[in-house]
Amino acid sequence: MFRYGTILLARRTFSAATSTRLAKKPAATSSLSPLLAGAALAATTTFALSQDSTVSAYATGAVKESAVRAAIADLIEKDAELRDDGTALTGTFVRLAWHCAGTFAKGDCSGGSDGGRMRFDPEASWGANAGLDIARRALEEVKEKFPAITYADLYTLAGVVAVEEAGGPKIPFRLGREDAASGETSPPDGRLPDADKGTKEKTISHIRDVFYRMGFNDMEIVALLGAHALGRCHPNASGYWGPWTRAETTFSNEYFRLLIEEKWYPKKTHANGRPWKGPDQFEDETGELMMLPADLALVQDLKFKKIVEKFAKDEDLFFREYAKAFSTLLELGVPFSPRKAWYQFW
């Protein structure tokens, strides 16, 4: 998620029909964008699609993943009803999970979601994490119901549930992250992606630097950034304003379609024609939708653009690639034992 956003799929397919779903799907999720990614750290690891994981950290059986999932989904739904404006916590939960995991560096295996360190400074105070205190506070309700689950698992699982509840793909996930006692082991600030580096060339380079550091390739980078289909930017958190799509509580490939089909202009005015005083961003001809400089980088770079075009045409492909990449991201730096392939029984 920018600052201001070997998998076995068990023959699972993800349906498209985006235009129909966008028109019919009820609003039930979102807030701030998620950009939000991780690396193929365990390229030989095979993940299984499991709803109730059993991991050594939960050997007592004190945490039933399905029950925690249901509580998170209920929290999102209730929040959406209270807001009654087409937004909810979905995007914020995806961003929370992303920012917990997106600090990983494959060079020394530092950072990542293990530890749940965003509860403490310095990570809690990073500018890149502005506004995520809202998500952390909201999840305290779930933590009270299930005290045995670690914050590290809770924060990442919240992102998974948010994507799935918004109509996105099933994300392979397992429990087992541990909580750190403080923020002393937090990585240095500056590892999360920025929305703008001043020029097109620098922004494109920055995106690759951040994601390559974690081990991702270009296909995975573009897939992960597709989470901007959810949520919106808020000036009080990021300085930027507005949603990426008109269905900000629905996970789809609409973000990619808009990048390709719409024309994007530098934002000049805001709210009744007053001069825009925020950071550089772009808007469509209606002024109702926006893109960040880092979003437009995906169509300004030819290699990225080819992938954007594929995802814009094929939502099933996007869903498959996103599920793999997001699952990988959330496990970066977590000392899980490799899963056995489905055909191994010993």
Burial of 23 (0-12, 13-18, 19+ CB in 10 A): exposed
Active site residue 342: no
Indicate if the alpha-carbon torsion angle 182, 185, 191, 192 is positive or negative.
Answer: negative
Q: What is the DSSP string of 227-282?
A: GGGS-EE-TTTTS--EESSS-TTS-SSHHHHHHHHS--EE--EETTTEEP-SS--E
Phi/psi at 314 (nearest 5 deg)?
Answer: -135, 95
- What tokens appear for 12 in the block? 């699972």
SS3 47: strand
SS3 120: coil
Question: Annotated catalytic residue: which of 98, 99, 206, 241?
Answer: 99
SS3 12: coil
Cα–Cα distances (Å) from 39 to 148, 249, 275, 330, 339, in that order, read 29, 26, 41, 9, 17
H or E stretch including 140? Answer: helix 133-145
H or E stretch including 68? Answer: helix 65-83
Question: Annotated catalytic residue: which of 98, 126, 241, 244?
Answer: 244
Active site residue 276: no
Task: Give the amino acid at 209.
Answer: D
- Yes or no: say if 204 and 194 are a contact pair by the CB < 8 Å rule: no
Active site residues: 99, 244
